[in-house]
């Protein structure tokens, strides 16, 4: 029998794991079987077999050593490329990553080099750091989200759910923590936690150069999550005070903390939406939904932005009693204005009443941003001049709650005017402009 050699290749690593000789058994055929490649090789010095002239006997493939070495060098790269490809998207799911580009994603709050591609995976570049993150182009409400992530040694990152257009992702939306440590006792900062508040039911993370699986099933108010097929969360978000006012619709994202974590096989299945919002301003056509109520303010529709200046209020044409109001706000340094609610303007001799949530980015001011003007001062929020922040106002009965960038800055239970009224945007000082966008309201 002519000596043959077989090479078996680990399909995950793409490196030879066993090489063995067989001098007594004739190899009948070359074959590829699920990552194992066996090649027939002619030792150096042995003459090439004569061409088979028997039409009834199949030819036996052969390869000389030089050709074998050249071909074998291509095998690891080929296997890596094949293995990096998605194994196939489940019925009803849509792939969010093609393995070759960042189409459908964009880098936020950092350079475009913060995330790169390697062997069919998205990699966090070690040169980037917080608050840089990779954001999906599309927003999602309810969904079944799945992906894989790779850890080796000390690693930290996060998967953002319902992340906002602007603001603090972890506090406005949610973050499922990615961490290498195998905590025996789950903590609010453990792998799989809703960081940094809710510990997972169990910690099941692989960190020795392994791929982990993650699944998040969000169908508000129920949130379920699995890591490596272990259930780590099953909760009613409405029953968790720290979570019930989080955004219910937003972006998906991956956090950069400068560790070279990899992500792949990213896919999603959308579930029916449940929220119904009324748009108050999102484009110039919505300007007609507002009217001047007092003073001489200057409000301009600038594309998706509503800009206020001068001195006075612009009010909605409709009235609202109990509601949730969401909008993004930014203003020049030391701006002064407000968001008013349950406003009634009957002119001289009539009723003129309203509640005002102050917008004044001076921390030492008597009533700074978030305060219920002349009634209760707010905790000063984390905002910066000329940077957008998310403003959330919840009014129900005698209660009101103000959230800014995911932080509860004011809670008050003592509203006496319980009648429906208009929403007003106030401009207080000429030259101290304030801008608003994505203004929407949901009745309670």
**How much is the pLDDT for 128?**
84
Report the C-alpha gap between 175 and 53 in whole angstroms: 68
Report the C-alpha gap between 427 and 337 in whole angstroms: 5
Two structure tokens written together for 313: 């209020």
387 CB neighbour count, 10 Å cutoff: 12
**How much is the pLDDT for 382?**
87
SS (H, E, C) 289-343: HEEEEEEEEEEEEECCEEEEEEEEEEEECCCECCEEEEEEEEECCCCCEEEEEEE
Q: Answer yes or no: is pLDDT of 216 > 60.
A: yes
* CA distances in angstroms from 118 to 3, 95, 121, 261, 411, listed in the order given: 39, 18, 5, 11, 48
**How much is the pLDDT for 4?**
38
As a whole number, the mean pLDDT across the chain is 85
- Name the band, by pLDDT with cuts 50, 70 and 90, for residue 164: very high
**How much is the pLDDT for 349?**
64
84 Cα distance to chain centroid: 22
Q: Answer yes or no: is pLDDT of 70 > 60.
A: no
Helix (H, G, I), strand (E, B) or coil at 425: strand
Q: Are 398 and 413 in contact (CB under 8 A)?
A: yes
The better pLDDT of the pair 200, 33 is held by: 200
- Name the band, by pLDDT with cuts 50, 70 and 90, for residue 24: very low
**How much is the pLDDT for 272?**
97
Phi, psi of 419 (to 5 degrees): -85, 155
* CA distances in angstroms from 71 to 10, 19, 39, 76, 431, listed in the order given: 16, 16, 10, 10, 72
**How much is the pLDDT for 351?**
74
**How much is the pLDDT for 167?**
93
Indicate the helix (H) or strand (E) that contains 80: helix 75-84
Q: Answer yes or no: is pLDDT of 381 > 60.
A: yes
Phi, psi of 166 (to 5 degrees): -140, 150
Q: Answer yes or no: is pLDDT of 307 > 50.
A: yes
Q: Are 14 and 72 in contact (CB under 8 A)?
A: no
**How much is the pLDDT for 311?**
95
**How much is the pLDDT for 64?**
53
- Domains along the chain? 4-84 (no CATH), 94-271 (2.60.120.560), 278-443 (2.60.120.560)
Helix (H, G, I), strand (E, B) or coil at 281: strand
Q: Are 404 and 410 in contact (CB under 8 A)?
A: no
């Amino acid at each position: 029998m002519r000596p043959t050699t077989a090479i078996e290749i680990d399909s995950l690593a793409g490196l030879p794991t066993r090489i063995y000789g067989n001098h007594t058994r004739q190899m009948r055929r070359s074959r590829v079987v699920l990552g194992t490649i066996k090649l027939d090789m002619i030792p150096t010095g042995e003459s090439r077999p004569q061409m088979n002239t028997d039409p009834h006997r199949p030819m036996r493939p052969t390869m000389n050593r030089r050709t074998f070495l050249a071909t074998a060098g291509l095998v690891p790269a080929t296997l890596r490329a094949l293995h990096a490809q998605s194994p196939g998207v489940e019925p009803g799911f849509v792939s969010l990553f093609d393995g070759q580009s960042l189409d459908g994603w964009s880098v936020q709050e950092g350079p475009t080099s913060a995330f790169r591609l390697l062997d069919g995976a998205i990699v966090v570049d070690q040169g980037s750091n917080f608050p840089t993150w990779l954001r999906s182009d599309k927003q999602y409400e309810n969904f079944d989200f799945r992906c894989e992530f790779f850890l080796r040694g000390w690693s930290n990152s996060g998967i953002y759910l319902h992340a906002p257009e602007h603001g603090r992702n972890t506090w406005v939306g949610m973050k499922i923590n990615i961490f290498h440590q195998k905590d025996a006792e789950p903590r609010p900062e453990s792998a799989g936690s809703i960081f940094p508040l809710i510990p997972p039911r169990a910690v099941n993370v692989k960190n020795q150069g392994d791929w982990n699986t993650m699944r998040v099933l969000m169908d508000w108010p129920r949130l379920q999550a699995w890591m490596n097929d272990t259930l780590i969360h099953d909760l009613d978000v409405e029953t968790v005070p720290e979570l019930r006012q989080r955004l219910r619709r937003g972006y998906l994202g991956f956090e950069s903390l400068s560790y070279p974590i990899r992500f792949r096989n990213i896919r999603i299945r959308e579930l029916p939406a449940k929220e119904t919002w009324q748009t108050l301003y999102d484009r110039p056509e919505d300007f007609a939904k507002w009217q001047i109520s007092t003073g001489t303010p200057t409000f301009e529709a600038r594309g998706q932005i509503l800009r206020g200046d001068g001195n006075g209020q612009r009010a909605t044409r409709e009235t609202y009693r109990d509601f949730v109001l969401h909008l993004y706000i930014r203003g020049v340094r030391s701006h002064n204005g407000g968001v008013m609610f349950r406003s009634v303007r009957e002119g001289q001799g009539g009723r003129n009443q309203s509640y005002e949530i102050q917008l004044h980015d001076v921390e030492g001011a008597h009533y700074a941003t978030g305060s219920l003007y002349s009634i209760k001062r707010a905790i000063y929020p984390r905002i910066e001049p000329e940077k957008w922040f998310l403003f959330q106002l919840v009014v129900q009965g005698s209660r009101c709650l103000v959230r800014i960038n995911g932080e509860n800055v004011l809670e008050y239970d003592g509203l006496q005017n319980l009648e429906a009224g208009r929403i007003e945007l106030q401009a207080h000082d000429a030259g101290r402009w304030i801008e608003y966008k994505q203004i929407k309201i949901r009745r309670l």
